[in-house]
């Protein structure tokens, strides 16, 4: 292989076109545009016009067999990511799957199994928010123990306002059979990933969902979830797509500090001078009175740091493409290994399953039960075929 990776783009829609543009602009120096495919003739024409000289194929299997590419990125509907990823891996073609890795855990587990059988082939996922310098720093702060053991975390992310016209733009959008769900599988996968990447993977979830709030859709557009972690920590996740003014606030409370993130752009990190339990044990009632009266210099108890980083649009995606290429070429560790894709899908499935059954659900739930209940909803829609494991 030369000093660049020839990347094939599967699907020349909005996202595929965006990636092709990033590559053409040289934003991922070790990636070149190897080929494009799309089942839609008009999109193939658009790809040929936008990128003259780049081979354009009618479907992904033709592209994989063409010899034009070393790797592919799958910018297609969610259900197709595992199928296409498996086909590429079995041909020795490196794979960067779009988020989410799939719709339900059974199909993602099959993808992961095939990836394990082909360790010589790079398998990554487009979790571009892991390249956001703010979240990278917060991940490292927590990993280094700077705020101690995480006790509680909460993320309110309601900045996904979508009008009815958005949902009416395609017959597969916001359907169980075409998209696999609503806000959990479309808008929120990055937050589900970042939450677990920073705070850890939960062991159970109890959730409440609402479907079609103020919108003519069948899938969830409001989510409230409470999760438990193995060490006793708890977390909440709240999201919706009908709040036009929206809120984006992440809080992570540790026993030695706290992180508060506003707008996914600005974080305040509080570091206690001593663990909170020690501060509590060292204070008598006289100290409490002084504290209430504002007579205590709070800087003697904790420090505060405000973090802000520039992150131009498109930079994060290009950085994932470059990291992927560097892994293919030189074995540089992946920031977003494909195997991590199961976490977000599993949590989204568990949130669905808890709401559907009215019970607290473990994260190691029965894959077959989830698929059966998903298929029941697909049957009720009467538009798409049921899914198989």
In the chain, ranges of CATH 3.30.360.10 domains: 131-312+344-381
- Contact predicate 47/36, CB 8 Å: yes
Tell me the pTM: 0.95
Residue 285: pLDDT band (50, 70, 90) is very high
- Contact predicate 248/157, CB 8 Å: yes
CATH of domain 5-127+314-337: 3.40.50.720
Mean predicted confidence (pLDDT) in 135-148 = 98
User: Which tokens belong to 388?
Assistant: 């198989």
CATH of domain 131-312+344-381: 3.30.360.10
Q: In angstroms, how far is CA 210 from the centroid of its own chain?
A: 21
Q: Give the pLDDT of residue 8.
A: 98
The CA-atom distances, in angstroms, between 151 and each of 224, 231, 253, 258 are 19, 9, 6, 10
Listed in sequence order, the DSSP H helices in the chain are 14-24, 41-50, 60-64, 80-90, 105-117, 133-143, 164-167, 189-199, 276-282, 285-292, 315-330, 341-357, 367-381
In the chain, ranges of CATH 3.40.50.720 domains: 5-127+314-337
Q: Give the pLDDT of residue 1.
A: 58
pLDDT in tens, 65-120: 999 999 999 999 999 999 999 999 999 999 999 999 999 999 999 999 999 999 99
CA dist 122 and 331 (Å) reads: 9
Helix (H) or strand (E) holding 8: strand 5-10
Q: What order of strands is seen across the sheet that includes strand 123-125?
A: 56-57, 31-37, 5-10, 71-74, 94-97, 123-125
The CA-atom distances, in angstroms, between 382 and each of 11, 79, 154, 164, 171 are 26, 17, 37, 21, 12
Question: Is pLDDT above 80 for 44?
Answer: yes
Q: Give the pLDDT of residue 302.
A: 96
Helix and strand counts by DSSP (H, E) for the chain: 13, 15
Q: Is the peptide bond before 100 cis (omega within 30 degrees of 0)?
A: yes
pLDDT in tens, 184-215: 999 999 999 999 999 999 999 999 999 999 99
CA dist 347 and 338 (Å) reads: 16
The CA-atom distances, in angstroms, between 349 and each of 199, 304, 361 are 19, 37, 10
């Amino acid at each position: 292989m030369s000093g660049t990776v020839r990347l094939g783009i599967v699907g020349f829609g909005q996202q595929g076109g965006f990636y092709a543009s990033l590559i053409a602009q040289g934003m991922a120096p070790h990636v070149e545009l190897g080929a494009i495919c799309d089942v839609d003739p008009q999109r193939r024409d658009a790809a040929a016009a936008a990128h003259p000289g780049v081979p354009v194929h009618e479907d992904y299997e033709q592209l994989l067999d063409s010899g034009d590419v070393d790797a592919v990125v799958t910018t297609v509907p969610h259900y197709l990511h595992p199928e296409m990823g498996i086909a590429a891996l079995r041909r020795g073609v490196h794979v960067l799957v779009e988020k989410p890795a799939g719709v339900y855990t059974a199909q993602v587990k099959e993808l992961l199994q095939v990836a394990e059988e082909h360790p010589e082939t790079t398998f990554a996922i487009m979790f571009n928010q892991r390249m956001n310098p703010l979240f990278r720093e917060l991940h490292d702060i927590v990993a280094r123990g700077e705020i101690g053991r995480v006790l509680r975390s909460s993320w309110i992310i309601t900045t996904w306002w979508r009008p009815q016209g958005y949902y009416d733009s395609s017959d597969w959008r916001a359907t169980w059979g075409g998209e696999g769900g609503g806000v959990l599988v479309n808008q929120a996968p990055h937050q589900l990933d970042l939450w677990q990447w920073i705070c850890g993977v939960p062991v159970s979830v109890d959730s409440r969902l609402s479907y079609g709030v103020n919108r003519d859709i069948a899938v969830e557009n409001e989510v409230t979830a409470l999760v438990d972690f193995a060490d006793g920590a708890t977390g909440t996740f709240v999201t919706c797509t009908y709040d036009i003014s929206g809120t984006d606030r992440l809080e992570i409370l540790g026993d030695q500090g706290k992180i508060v993130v506003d707008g996914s752009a600005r974080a305040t990190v509080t570091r206690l001078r001593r663990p909170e339990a020690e501060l509590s044990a060292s204070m008598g009632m006289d100290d409490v009175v002084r504290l209430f009266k504002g007579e205590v210099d709070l800087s003697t108890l904790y420090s505060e740091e405000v973090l802000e980083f520039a992150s131009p649009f498109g930079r994060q995606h290009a950085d994932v493409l470059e990291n992927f290429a560097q892994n293919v070429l030189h074995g540089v560790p992946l920031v977003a290994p494909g195997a991590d894709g199961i976490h977000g899908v599993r949590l989204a499935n568990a949130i669905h399953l808890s709401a559907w059954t009215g019970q607290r659900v473990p994260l190691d739930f029965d894959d077959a039960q989830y698929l059966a209940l998903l298929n029941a909803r697909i049957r009720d829609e009467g538009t798409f075929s049921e899914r198989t494991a």
